[in-house]
A = this chain, B = another copy of it.
Amino acid sequence: MADQAAFARAVLVRFGDCDPAGIVFYPRYFEMFNNLVEDWCAQGLGASFRELHQERGLGLPTVSIQTEFVAPSRLGDLLRAELQVEKIGGASITVAIRLLGEDGAERVRASLVLVLMDLNTMRATRLPDAMRARIAPFGPVESH
């Protein structure tokens, strides 16, 4: 994936993220994933969740996730959260998310399938061309 841009943000592991063992309580990672997708839409694709939901009647629900918790993270760790597009389908986007420690070692990696949904019909709807054009730079470089 060397030729591909990643959308990246820093994520601080906060007190409220951690469990009695002093490490991140794993459901909190999924909130981190959702925040990253939200930031990617707003900043990377130019379409905030507010705009999608309230102005365009569109949602981007997650329909499946595979997650590997490679190593624990602790209170105060400053993680790097990265998102890359693995695949663009008709209505779906498959994204890879990785959380890395300050040493660059992988803590969590996940693959999520997001689907563009028409909130009125509650059915999947084709990704508009304008959105595809914004997604493409985060996606796999196609070979010809």
Contact = CB atoms under 8 A, between A and B. Distances in A.
Interface of A: 14-16, 18-23, 25-28, 30-31, 33-35, 38, 48-51, 53-54, 59, 61-69, 72, 74-76, 119
Contact of A20 (B19, B30, B31, B66): B19
19 contacts: A14-B34, A15-B38, A15-B49, A16-B19, A19-B19, A20-B20, A20-B22, A20-B53, A21-B53, A27-B28, A27-B31, A30-B30, A48-B76, A49-B75, A53-B75, A61-B69, A64-B67, A64-B68, A64-B69
A33 B62 CA distance: 17
B62 A34 contact: no
Given A49-B75, A65-B65, A15 B19 contact: yes
